[in-house]
Amino acid sequence: MNDSPETGVDVLADTIVQTHAVLHARMRSAEACRPTPDAPRAAYGATDPFLASTSRHVAAANAILVPAARRRLGEGHRRAHEFARQSRRLEVALVDLKAKLYGSTYAVRRTWTSIWGRVEDELARMRTLELQLVDDLAATTSAHEREELAERLYRCERRVPTRPHPYLPHHGVTGRVARRVALRVDRFWDTAEGRMVPEPVRPRRARDGRLAQYLLADPHLPG
């Protein structure tokens, strides 16, 4: 399928690549800011945004990308299950990170190096699976359809749970209901704890011309 003649950019692939670049940068920032006996809460401000943004992206990818892959791709159901399994693995790693950060007794014997090592490995595997799905979708969808998927992913990411929930359903009607309930609970605790939840990466709209980009104060022109 042909991409936008104006930019030549696959908006969906570009959004996924940018999102994972942001998640990786937040992970590195959080990893470098570990709690100390003198400042036990110092890491919260760096780690909570990483936990929130990663949890949101995992939930949104399962809500938007996976159904599209199931409909459009060969062996779509198998790949949906594979994606759900990897999502759970990453979310379990995030749960362990959160437990270590907040001093849970079950994580006290785990080292920070082992915690962050697993998070990094599972996030890298998730990125690989996502990009494979997006690359394969490019062969069965138009550039406009992929742009719409990117917009839906962005909108969904703003209204899904902000904490990892590895044992909730990820797909189908039960997945949608579970995400809706978890979102309400997470929003309550985010407000109670004053937790900062970053804005997701916004897709670069290929249909916007140069003038529109300046008028929208959203320039993304080549240098």
CA distance 107 to 103: 7
Q: How many CB atoms lie within 10 A of CB 162?
A: 23
Q: What is the pLDDT of residue 216?
A: 46
Mind listing the pLDDT tens digit of every residue in the chain (223 residues)? 444 444 467 999 999 999 999 999 999 999 998 777 777 677 888 899 999 999 999 999 999 999 999 999 988 899 999 999 999 999 999 999 999 988 788 888 899 999 999 999 999 999 999 999 999 999 999 999 999 999 999 999 999 999 999 999 899 899 989 999 999 999 999 999 888 899 999 998 754 444 444 444 544 444 4
Domain ranges of the chain: 11-215
pTM of the predicted structure, to 2 decimals: 0.85
In contact, 204 and 220? CB cutoff 8 Å: yes
